[in-house]
Amino acid sequence: MLIVELSALLHDIADWKFHGGDDTQGPKMAETFLLENQIDRKVIDPVIEIIATLSYKGAGVETPMKTLEGKVVQDADRLDAIGAVGIARTFAYGGHKNRLIYDPEEKPVLHQSFAEYKKNTGHTINHFYEKLLLLKDRMNTSSAKKMAEERHQFMKTYLGQFYKEWDGKA
């Protein structure tokens, strides 16, 4: 439980999106924090492994977790990204980055590498297709798969309503 708790609490300590694309900052900062708090190395190493591995890196990039602890934390992170709260977070981040809400001329890109994914500057609705709607099928545990199904359906319903309103049909 300690590994799961620390990984969950620290996995976004230095998210690459807010650190110039540097995906090594999070594991480094987490390790420093854990060492400063005298956490045993037997706990630190798996926590750092989870933090370094769990993030979504593009549609064509697999991110398998080696341990059950890692799978649980990865599922929790992915569940946070989808559903009603995930939609709110998506638009908040898009606004923070001054991205358009939607551009019907710009089609989604299914990124085949993490480098390609990190460079993405597409409009916010594309993020649903480039990541959020793909997460349901990337869950590790049966509990997460069940929760993801409901959130996935909600996002599809939301997008349907969005397009009706965008097109002036609702």
> What does the pLDDT look like over 23-45, one tens digit per residue?
888 999 999 999 999 999 999 99
Q: What is the CATH number of the domain that holds 158?
A: 1.20.58.1910
Strands (DSSP E) found in 63-116: none
Q: What is the pTM of this model?
A: 0.90
110: pLDDT confidence band, cut at 50, 70 and 90? Answer: confident
Domain that holds residue 4: 1-53
Q: Are 11 and 51 in contact (CB under 8 A)?
A: yes
Nearest residue to 26 (alpha-carbon basis) of 41, 7, 4, 3: 7
135 plus 106 within the same structural domain: yes
Task: Clarify whether residues 68 and 121 are in a common domain.
Answer: yes
The residue type found at 74 is Q
What backbone torsions phi and psi does residue 37 show, to the nearest 5 degrees?
Answer: -100, 15
